[in-house]
Amino acid sequence: MRVISEQHLARVLAGLPGRPRIVAGGNFAAPRRALEIADAAMAEYRLFMLNAQGDLPDREGVDLETPFVGAGMRGRANLRYFPSRLSLVPNLLKESLPPEVVIVQTSTPSAGTVSLGIEVNILPAAIEAARARGGLVVAQLNPRMPYTFGDAVLAEDEIDYAIEADEPLATPVPRPPGEVAHLIGERVARLVPEHATLQLGIGAVPDAVLASLLDRRGLGVWSEMFSDGVLALEKAGALDTGTPITASFAFGGRELYDWADRNDRIRMLRTEKTNDPSLIARRPRMVAVNSALQVDLFAQANASRVRGTIYSGFGGQTDFVVGALHSPGGRAVIALPSWHPRADVSTVIARLAGPVTSFQHSYIVSEQGTATVWGNDAASQAEQIIDNVAHPSARDGLREQGRELGVLRP
């Protein structure tokens, strides 16, 4: 690893031929300063990020690429969306979308190594893919990045160039769960046994679920990500202290990042491991809790698109639904409010009009109640979704549509 000036990095990147693909850390670990240098130095390039946040280049010559759309890419005209479950994104980078440059934000060096900190995810695979074809690996060294263990640790010789940038890590805007999310969280918590292993996604409902589990004991975490709610479980004594907290990225506030720094209870692994359904299935009593934008009477979930336009993507939901269903005592839960307040529409519809994110869940939960999906015939599933999950104002219409579709008994 050679530490260079920002001006030197700009010259290196400006000298790259063609229209190179840059893979960079996403979520709240984006190497902002290095990306600004790249954008100023390169007339044309492709930027591949996962769940990108904040401002991104919006100009001619720049294509944004992702299999999971974050707020920074959502609705952008220069976006190219690549449908893929998260566990398979490393294969995309090795085969279809090889990078010429990988830019990561890391800790400062320690004993010949740096750490990817709060964002491991697809980055080790991207680094391997770039190095296999003679590409560049660039690090933005930040003393504020936590040093985490597992696949987060990189030898300095895996990095070609580095710049130094001492800047605060971004954090999500706190959004306390409302009354509906609290009700859903309490209902989901009733489905979580003692000594379960948890996977939860991002958002108000997963946060409310975690807040409803503070009185449990012996819980484990094997998840794509972990958030402030996991730290709350730790403080409450709800986690099994003999089991590592396993994830591929963290998404939270400064206290969470401080807690993660050199914490040997936290093991950050690459996506191919955390999201491998066969590894997920080995976790005892695996409870995967994910949210959706819509569910239908066939017990299918849409967590990806709004009115046909891509909103996010498959992410890890498909991986964890399959893994949880194969876990001994495991459960795959979809949790969502019964009514979308801004769009003023039911989130339970008769049949999805677009792509399905996941299906064949154990339970579907809203603030109205819980539908038991697994083990029931199709008609019983639909009846439970209408009676227990749908908003009361939508139920009569759903019953009529369900009979027309043949999913409900005449």
Indicate if 224 belongs to the active site: yes
CB contact at 8 A, 70 and 51:
yes
CA distance 218 to 241: 8
CA distance 272 to 160: 24
Query: Helix, strand or coil for residue 85?
Result: coil
Please provide the DSSP assignment of 329-351 as one string.
T-EEEEE--SEETTTTEESEESS
Instruction: List helix spans (H) across 106-178.
Output: 123-132
Which of the following is catalytic: 65, 100, 224, 234? 224
Question: Cα separations (Å) of 319 from 25, 85, 252, 358?
Answer: 21, 7, 23, 9
CB contact at 8 A, 30 and 106:
no
CA distance 66 to 81: 5
CA distance 398 to 367: 18
CB contact at 8 A, 324 and 233:
no
CA distance 217 to 239: 6
Helix axis angle, 228-236 relative to 204-211, nearest 10°? 0
| Catalytic machinery residues | 224
